[in-house]
Amino acid sequence: MAQKDSGQQENLAFHPNNIMLFLLLFGLCFLFLALTISYTYIRITMDVPPVQVPGLFLFNTLILLGSSYTMIQAKKSYQTDDTSGYQQYLRFTIILSVLFMLMQVVAWAWLFKINHAGLNASTTTAFLYVLSFAHMLHVIAGLPFLIIFYRAARKRMVDPVTVLVYFSDPEKRLKLRLLTIYWHFLDILWIYLVLFLGINYLI
Whole-number average pLDDT of the chain: 84
| Residue 189 domain boundaries | 2-202
Poorest-pLDDT segment among 34-38, 44-48, 182-186: 44-48
Q: What's the pLDDT at 202?
A: 80
Poorest-pLDDT segment among 9-13, 40-44, 128-132, 185-189: 9-13
% the chain with pLDDT above 90? 46
What's 131's domain CATH number? 1.20.120.80
Alpha carbons 136 and 159: distance in angstroms, whole number: 37
Alpha carbons 184 and 187: distance in angstroms, whole number: 5
Residue 111 confidence class, pLDDT cut points 50, 70, 90: confident
Number of structural domains (the chain) is 1
At how many degrees (to 10) do helices 83-109 and 55-79 cross? 170
Does residue 185 contact residue 31 with C-beta atoms inside 8 Å? Answer: no
What's the first-to-final CA gap in the chain, in angstroms? 59
Poorest-pLDDT segment among 10-19, 134-143, 193-202: 10-19
Q: pTM for the complete prediction?
A: 0.84
**pLDDT tens string 50-64:** 777 888 899 999 999
Q: What is the CA radius of gyration of the chain?
A: 20
